[in-house]
Amino acid sequence: MANQEKILVVGAAGQIGTELVLELRLRYGAETIVASDIKTPNYDVMEGGIFEFLDILDDKALLKIVQKHNIKQVYQLAALLSATAEQNPMFAWKLNMEGLFNILNLAKEKIIDKIFWPSSIAVFGSTTPKIQTPQITITEPSSVYGISKLSGERWCEYYFKKFNVDVRSVRYPGLISHKSQPGGGTTDYAVHIFYEAKKHQNYECFLKSDCTLPMMYMDDAIDATISLMEAPGNKIKIRSSYNIAGVSFNPKELVTEIKRHIPEFTASYSPDYRQQLAESWPAEIDESIAYNDWGWKSQYDMPFIVNQMLKNI
């Protein structure tokens, strides 16, 4: 990346944004990264570099910030996640789509050069093959969130083909992190469980014990994100969104691993509306195209993640 190019992160106070901003500042220098959100981020994000309050739905305010800082790349993370989106479908559709369009249009107008926008395993649905889910397969999502992510993927590819917009994307699995809390997804159980295990040695899980989902440690997710953005453009063959796999496990397997560290830990299961969302998603993802195209592979397994989470929270 050229030295003077500035990067805007939208949604910098969220689960991914918090860690992405810290890593981008480390790699490229704090003066190069502009963090932004509608809410105040944690102390490190707020005080460790540039921060701007920005509502991604306000395209005029967005343009002002882009011009003020001479922004050339944008990571657009602001969205409602799967569980929250089901509570407010029309607003989820508005935020998830208009937020993306506001950024895509800046690139179409050649005001910015490069975009990262995340998709999700929620683009898949119950008709998708559940095991080793291929890059290109049936995508019939049943959640508001999944519908918005699939539409976003189609628009990203459209803007690339039609307007030569350099937009890059991965389909994140459920993310597990200890520096920031998850923001209303179906996979949030796999973060909450560690807090409850340490505090109360007990957790009531909102998914069934055998509900296997693809999950990923945040370090892997951040590495995939930045590697994709740094890859030469001619390597990026998929302009909708790349599958990335992480590691697959169910709540019962996670409980068993936590018990190796906290033997008195117990869990109970009271599935709610999120079970239906989780059931429609794949259990295990094939990420071979990401490896073939830009050389990326998931690293961290479940015992490593459990160890890190219990050590750090």
Residues with catalytic roles: 145
Instruction: Find the shortest distance in angstroms from Cβ 83 to ligand SER.
Output: 6
Residue 185 binding ligand SER, by CB under 6 A: yes
Burial (0-12, 13-18, 19+ Cβ within 10 Å), 233: exposed
- If binding is defined by CB under 6 A, does position 16 make contact with ligand NAD? yes
- CB of residue 37 vs ligand NAD: minimum separation in angstroms? 5
β-bridge pairing 247-249 and 213-217: antiparallel
CA dist 148 → 35, 37, 50, 98, 144 (Å): 24, 20, 30, 10, 6
Contacts of 188 (CB under 8 A, 6+ apart): 83, 174, 182
- Residue 251 binds ligand NAD, judged by CB under 6 A: no
* DSSP label of 111: S
Minimal CB distance residue for ligand NAD: 14
Q: Which is nearer to ligand SER, 107 or 221 (CB)?
A: 221
Which candidate, 130, 123, 74, places its Cα nearest to that of 103? 74
Q: Which does 215 bind (CB under 5 to 8 A by kind): ligand SER, ligand NAD, none?
A: none
Q: What is the closest distance, in whole angstroms, from the C-beta atom of residue 123 to ligand SER in the complex?
A: 9
**At how many degrees (to 10) do helices 59-69 and 89-108 cross?**
40
Contacts of 58 (CB under 8 A, 6+ apart): none
Q: Scanning residues 80 to 109, which ones bind ligand SER (CB under 6 A)?
A: 81-82
Minimum separation from the CB atom of position 65 to ligand NAD (A): 11
Task: Give which of 159, 143, 37 is closest to 108, Cα–Cα.
Answer: 159
Q: Which stretch binds ligand SER (CB under 6 A): 20-28, 184-192, 239-247, 249-257?
A: 184-192
Q: Which does 15 bind (CB under 5 to 8 A by kind): ligand SER, ligand NAD, none?
A: ligand NAD
Least distance in Å: CB of 204 to ligand SER? 18
Kindly tell me which residue out of 32, 128, 139, 187 binds ligand NAD, with binding defined by CB under 6 A: 187
Interaction between residue 56 and ligand NAD (CB under 6 A): yes
The 3-state DSSP class for residue 270 equals: coil
Q: How far is the CB of 120 from ligand NAD (least distance, A)?
A: 4
Q: Which is nearer to ligand NAD, 88 or 266 (CB)?
A: 88
Select 109 or 272, whichever has its Cβ closest to ligand SER.
272
For residue 223, what are the contacts with CB-CB under 8 A and spacing of at least 6?
A: 296, 299
Taken in order 247, 96, 234, 9, is the CA torsion positive or negative? negative
DSSP secondary structure letter of residue 285:
B
Nearest residue to ligand SER on Cβ basis: 185
Residues 22-41 that bind ligand NAD (CB under 6 A): 37-39
DSSP state of 121: G
Q: Is 174 in the site for ligand SER (CB under 6 A)?
A: yes
Interacting residues with ligand SER (CB under 6 A)? 81-82, 120-122, 145, 174, 185-187
